[in-house]
Structure 1
Amino acid sequence: MLVIAHTVTYAQRLREVFSLLEADLRVQVVFTAAPHAFGEGVSQYLRGLGIGTVPWEQARRTEFDLALAAGSRGVHEVRAPLVRLSHGAGHIKLLRNPGPLAPGEERPPGMMSRQHLMRDGRIVPAAVVYSHERDLETLARSCPEALAVAHVAGDPCYDRIVGSTPRREQYRRALGMAKGQRLVVVTSTWGPTSNFGRLEALLPQLLSELPSSEYRVAMLVHPNVWAGHGGWQVRSWLAACRGRGIAVVPPEADWQAPLIAADWVIGDHGSLTAYATLTEAPLLLTPGPRREISVQSPAAHLAAVAPVVSPLYPLREQLDYAAEHYRTGQYEQVASLLSSAPGQFHRRMRALLYRLLRLGEPAIAPEVAPVPLPPCLEEWEDTSLGEAR
């Protein structure tokens, strides 16, 4: 089986899938880093897992029994039945290039569009995997030709976060949270309207209004930001965080443990903010680009119910307000949009892979390991910001 990793984000999502083939001596998994504008760091991420890659040119000339991808660029060239899956919390961002759409045609999310699913009048993937039954309704409007190969498997991050939430205190201890300290996690997608794109408004509040003796801050910045600007530039922009109790989580790190451990999440319209609805943390949102977000996405529904953070008021007071008004289960409706098959992703996904490989499944249930314990926040502060000094 060929695994096509376009970006670090895609590779992290694909890891949930190719790990389902571990210990099966009948299957060899081959990896390639396909060209992509945000492809910086993919090969390094895979090497960190002990994975070598073959060149893209070699991969697309070689025949495989199956291929796996979370992106669309160049995958029509692969000589294998292709499985495509989404890489985030629902389908948040609308198709950026609406050129091929007919006048008045609704702009769909990217992975729902003919532009991303078809080539020369035919459906490229042998299977397209979605997280929610509602996705099929959208697909029926935007690319009905793909319904024949669409499968609903649920969401791996949903299942792993929910399954790991009972370990919250272990994650907090591993992160080095002292008794009485509270953790604020800032999540950012990529683009000019993301939290990182508006950092000049949020960062001064984080630096000056949250004393490190009481608060720790962890910033989860989308890997596309690191790939697009380069690690040195990102670290330089965030160099003021050093020594101020603010850890910048590197792009290759597992983001789920800090999210579960958070006392608050300050998020934007990205996937991590939507996944935060599965945790016990009160949320504060920064305004998002409403015209670029699918109205059916978890992000759009969250924007309608979560409080909004403002640079005009003290951040500490806003955090207290969010905590005071938070109620358990407040975001259950939003969370329900992340998956219509809770706890079933790994079982459904493995069954699909083996069916396409024409192999019988192993006679044991797929293992869903909990989110691993993270490094201490100080370690992330030292390694992610040290080069900017």
Structure 2
Amino acid sequence: MSLLMPDADRRPAVPLRLDVERWATFRIRRRVLAVVHTVTSAQRLLEAVRLLEGDPRIQTVFTMANDVFNDGVERFLENIRALVVPWSQAVHTRFDLALAASHGGLHELSVPVVVLPHGASYNKRISAPGGPRGRGTAAREVYGLGRQWLVRDGMVVPAAIALAHEQDRIRLGRLCPEALPVAEVVGDPCHDRVAASLPHRAQYRRALGARPGQELVLVCSTWGPDSLLGRQWDLLARLAAELPREEFRIVVMLHSHVWNAHSEWHIRSAFAGLARAGVALVSQHAEWAGAVVAADHIVGDHGSVALYGTMTGARILTAGSPDTDLDPGSPMAELRALAPRIHRGRSLRRQLRGTSAAYRAADYARIASRLSSEPGRFASLMRALIYRALRLRAPSAPTPPEHAAPPVTVRYGAP
């Protein structure tokens, strides 16, 4: 697999300035551009960028690509103290490699790009804005695997496509066969993080305020009007009213797009009454894997979090919109077909108990096995891919996957 673009396909590039050449202390041999579209993709992208830690030969520069969900990206990059260049400069600057976890604008770069998935597998069918030659809307395709995301002017844009599972390679072959030569299965970093976190379940439960004997109900909502929050906001109040506090601890976790689109102030305001009713809210700045490991029950929609719950033994209930936008062959479609849906007219406590009674570990293990065909190996395989693309020898072996930090909940002041 070649990770170098032919010279004819490169647009003229200029050296990166910022006084790096004149004042640099480290002898920089390679420069990597991390392309950030959204906070969600930035979090996934950091899993790859951090594989370069401990190597002063490589300078990582971040840029923000245009995206409708750019809200929060600038603050995210400021918080990680990244070296950032504007997109207008990045597209005309010479780098040795780019990394991205989304697809918008990548064809504008004059550098080989490695693309990672931005969530668990490839589940949603959506249309890119503007069909062929800008006429209307393109047909719906699986995001990240269809031609409209990977091909531009007859050429495959990514120099490498990092996949989590061999099944993803098979699906890519059906949807965009010309991209198969640049596909490489490297596993899933979030799968490995959840797996490494399983022995620390008791610690995560304490961090979320679950007392011994309490069952922890984790409610997970993605973004948008078809999400759990968008369709069934009243479900949170029902859970708080119907589940006895001495038996259940209710915790809510929201997609980063919800926080960034509405502001932390708005969300704190919206959840103030629920907080007084005993419902906890996971901070947008916290790691999410620990909350998934801590849960006895997960009530989720079509977001990725519920999929990782298939690894933990949690009993899963589904909510949100009908599944018309899901790829029928995706892991999420399989989970949504297996897990019971929340019914408005029935006792929530009985529904939780019914899910526990009907739980079959083998069914959920089958879905969990679709998240990564290289369990525990993302760090080593992705690192090898990056260094091969950079034509550098990696300085040392990567560390094993680390467990997640304990989750942090939003504080509302003194009770």
Query: What is residue 59 of structure 1 aligned with on the other side?
Result: 90
**Matched ranges for 1:30-179 at <5 A:** 30-97=61-128, 99-100=131-132, 107-179=140-212
Deviations 1:53-79 (A, max 9, x none): 222222222111111011111122222
Comparing 232-241 with 111-120, greater Cα deviation is found at 232-241
Separation in structure 2 between the aligned mates of residue 263 and residue 46 of structure 1, nearest angstrom: 34
TM-score (norm 2): 0.86
Query: What is residue 396 of structure 2 aligned with on the other side?
Result: 363
Separation in structure 1 between the aligned mates of residue 346 and residue 365 of structure 2, nearest angstrom: 28
Instruction: Tell me: CA distance 1:96–1:323, structure 2 relative to 1, closer, same or farther (3 Å).
Output: same
Structure 2 segments unaligned to the other structure (5+ residues)? 1-31
**Matched ranges for 1:262-341 at <5 A:** 262-286=295-319, 288-341=321-374
Contact 1:175 1:374 in 2 (8 A): yes
Could you tell me which amino acid in structure 1 is paired with residue 169 of structure 2?
L
TM-score (norm 1): 0.91
Could you tell me which amino acid in structure 2 is paired with residue 22 of structure 1?
E
Contact 1:37 1:228 in 2 (8 A): no
Could you tell me which amino acid in structure 2 is paired with residue 274 of structure 1?
L
Q: Secondary structure at the match of 2:251?
A: strand
Contact 1:226 1:234 in 2 (8 A): yes
Question: Once the 2 structures are TM-superposed, how far is the Cα of residue 52 of structure 1 from its aligned partner?
Answer: 4.2
Query: What is residue 41 of structure 2 aligned with on the other side?
Result: 10
Comparing 266-275 with 45-54, greater Cα deviation is found at 45-54
Q: Secondary structure at the match of 1:360?
A: coil
**Matched ranges for 1:163-202 at <5 A:** 163-202=196-235
Separation in structure 2 between the aligned mates of residue 192 and residue 3 of structure 1, nearest angstrom: 30
Tell me the percent identity: 45
Question: Once the 2 structures are TM-superposed, how far is the Cα of residue 107 of structure 1 from its aligned partner?
Answer: 4.3
Question: Once the 2 structures are TM-superposed, how far is the Cα of residue 277 of structure 1 from its aligned partner?
Answer: 0.3
Separation in structure 1 between the aligned mates of residue 274 and residue 263 of structure 2, nearest angstrom: 18
Q: Secondary structure at the match of 1:116?
A: helix
Question: Once the 2 structures are TM-superposed, how far is the Cα of residue 184 of structure 1 from its aligned partner?
Answer: 0.8
Query: What is residue 273 of structure 2 aligned with on the other side?
Result: 240
Could you tell me which amino acid in structure 2 is paired with residue 314 of structure 1?
S
Which protein is bigger by CA-based radius of gyration?
2
Instruction: Tell me: CA distance 1:346–1:135, structure 2 relative to 1, closer, same or farther (3 Å).
Output: same
Question: Once the 2 structures are TM-superposed, how far is the Cα of residue 80 of structure 1 from its aligned partner?
Answer: 1.5
Equivalenced residue count is 380
Question: Once the 2 structures are TM-superposed, how far is the Cα of residue 288 of structure 1 from its aligned partner?
Answer: 4.0
Query: What is residue 28 of structure 2 aligned with on the other side?
Result: none
Instruction: Tell me: CA distance 1:204–1:373, structure 2 relative to 1, closer, same or farther (3 Å).
Output: closer
Could you tell me which amino acid in structure 2 is paired with residue 14 of structure 1?
L
Deviations 1:90-145 (A, max 9, x none): 111102349459xxx98431111111112222111110111111122222222111
Structure 1 segments unaligned to the other structure (5+ residues)? none
Comparing 156-165 with 202-211, greater Cα deviation is found at 202-211
Contact 1:201 1:311 in 2 (8 A): no
Contact 2:228 2:320 in 1 (8 A): no
Could you tell me which amino acid in structure 2 is paired with residue 237 of structure 1?
A
Name which structure has the greater RCO, CA cutoff 8 Å, separation 6+: 1
Contact 1:218 1:246 in 2 (8 A): yes
